[in-house]
């Protein structure tokens, strides 16, 4: 459903992506691995339209997405849960969720249903619905960020480092959520530095080095790959 071909991108004169090819098929969890600075978050920004590539094409459900506006891309069905959560701390949990549905102009009755389905996935958000998002713990804020991403009822979810800055117990809970989403057949492109846990959840994975995709394969195979173990698992 997502097809990326020959993407190049630069910050000023520094080229950070130098030819990325990647596919995500229906129902798949695909993991994007690579050293810090390899260009993973940049690639997600290009897919969701937050940044324009200098070369190459992004296609989604057969449509050309390259250089479309972020809100158009959300309406087409791609939702981006950014690195560092980026929730609106001074707004309530409900207001944060509402913003997730904004691009669609979702009707009130449907919103109620959507809130309910978020409560099923994240019971804590029901308890904290009227509270300020900033008063949630880090793990709860990450759940809110994912729920906000789901409010647009995406056909593909981009998850950038969901475990970043979370306590060990909270990391377990977040990976539990990703596993849940998987059973609901929501395709996910996952960027994660917790490589071992990510490969255990994913169907396939791509490895990026200095702006290029250099390797891809079944997640289970990569988990046993000597180079992957040495470079990303520190073994």
SS3 63: strand
Q: Considering the rule CB under 8 A, would residue 38 count as an interface residue with other proteins?
A: yes
Applying CB under 8 A, which of residues 165, 200, 203, 215 lies at the interface with other proteins?
Answer: 165
Shortest distance, CB of residue 167 to other proteins, whole angstroms? 5
Q: Which of 112, 115, 132, 113 is nearest to 123 (CA)?
A: 115
What is the 3-state composition of the chain as percent helix, strand, coil, each rounded to the nearest 5? Answer: 40, 25, 30
Residue-wise DSSP of 182-202? HHTT--EEEE-S-HHHHHHH-
Q: Considering the rule CB under 8 A, would residue 131 count as an interface residue with other proteins?
A: no
Task: Lay out the site mask for other proteins across 53-92 (x = CB under 8 A, - = otherwise).
Answer: ------------------------------xx--------
Applying CB under 8 A, which of residues 49, 53, 77, 139 lies at the interface with other proteins?
Answer: 139
- Residue 114's Cβ-count burial label (10 Å; 0-12, 13-18, 19+) is buried
Return the range that interacts with other proteins (CB under 8 A); candidates 32-40, 100-108, 123-131, 200-208: 32-40
Q: CA 141 to CA 82: how far, in whole Å?
A: 12
Applying CB under 8 A, which of residues 26, 63, 184, 230 lies at the interface with other proteins?
Answer: 230
Return the range that interacts with other proteins (CB under 8 A); candidates 11-19, 48-56, 118-126, 209-217: 11-19
Residues at the contact surface with other proteins, assessed by CB under 8 A: 11-12, 14, 16, 33, 35-38, 41, 83-84, 137-139, 161, 164-172, 193-196, 230-235
């Amino acid at each position: 459903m997502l097809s990326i071909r020959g993407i190049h991108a630069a910050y000023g004169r520094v080229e950070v992506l130098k030819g990325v090819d990647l596919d995500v098929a229906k129902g798949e969890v695909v993991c994007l691995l690579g050293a810090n600075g390899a260009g993973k978050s940049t690639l997600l920004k290009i897919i969701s339209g937050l940044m324009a590539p200098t070369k190459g094409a992004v296609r989604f459900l057969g449509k050309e997405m390259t250089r479309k506006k972020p809100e158009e891309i959300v309406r087409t069905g791609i939702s981006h849960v950014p690195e560092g959560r980026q929730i609106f701390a001074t707004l309530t949990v409900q207001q944060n969720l509402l913003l997730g549905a904004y691009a669609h102009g979702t009707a009130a009755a449907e919103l109620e249903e959507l809130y309910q389905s978020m409560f099923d996935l994240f019971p804590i958000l029901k308890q904290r619905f009227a509270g300020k998002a900033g008063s949630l713990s880090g793990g709860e804020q990450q759940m809110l960020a994912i729920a906000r991403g789901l409010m647009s009822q995406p056909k593909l979810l981009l998850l950038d480092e969901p475990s970043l800055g979370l306590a060990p117990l909270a990391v377990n809970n977040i990976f539990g959520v990703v596993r849940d989403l998987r059973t609901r057949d929501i395709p996910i492109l996952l960027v994660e530095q917790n490589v071992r846990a990510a490969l255990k959840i994913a169907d396939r994975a791509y490895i990026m080095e200095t702006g290029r995709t250099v390797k891809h394969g079944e997640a289970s195979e990569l988990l046993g790959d000597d180079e992957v173990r040495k470079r990303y698992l520190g073994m």
